[in-house]
């Protein structure tokens, strides 16, 4: 299994509660939910960057 990095995360109580409800709805711990949300955000960002690289350069002609 890959090594896991531990770090302290401070978030507002209302955000914690929202994450807790969301995690319970998906049968995850809050920690697992935060990891899931971060992984999805990184995946989407990578996909957008790949799409940007595939688009022709130069702004197009009209």
**Residue 5 vs residues 2, 8, 21: alpha-carbon distances, Å:** 10, 10, 25
Q: What are phi and psi of 27, to 5 degrees?
A: 55, 45
Tell me: the pLDDT tens digits for 4-41?
Answer: 899 999 999 999 999 999 999 999 999 999 999 999 99
**Structure confidence at residue 59 (pLDDT):** 60
**Structure confidence at residue 2 (pLDDT):** 82
**Structure confidence at residue 61 (pLDDT):** 56
Q: Which two tokens stand for residue 35?
A: 């990891």
> pTM value?
0.75
**Structure confidence at residue 58 (pLDDT):** 63
């Amino acid at each position: 299994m890959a090594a896991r990095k531990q770090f302290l995360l401070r978030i507002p109580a209302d955000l914690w509660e929202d994450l807790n409800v969301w995690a319970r709805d998906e049968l995850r711990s809050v920690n697992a939910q935060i990891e899931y949300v971060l992984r999805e955000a990184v995946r989407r960002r990578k996909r957008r960057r790949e799409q940007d690289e595939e688009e022709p350069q130069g702004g197009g002609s009209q």
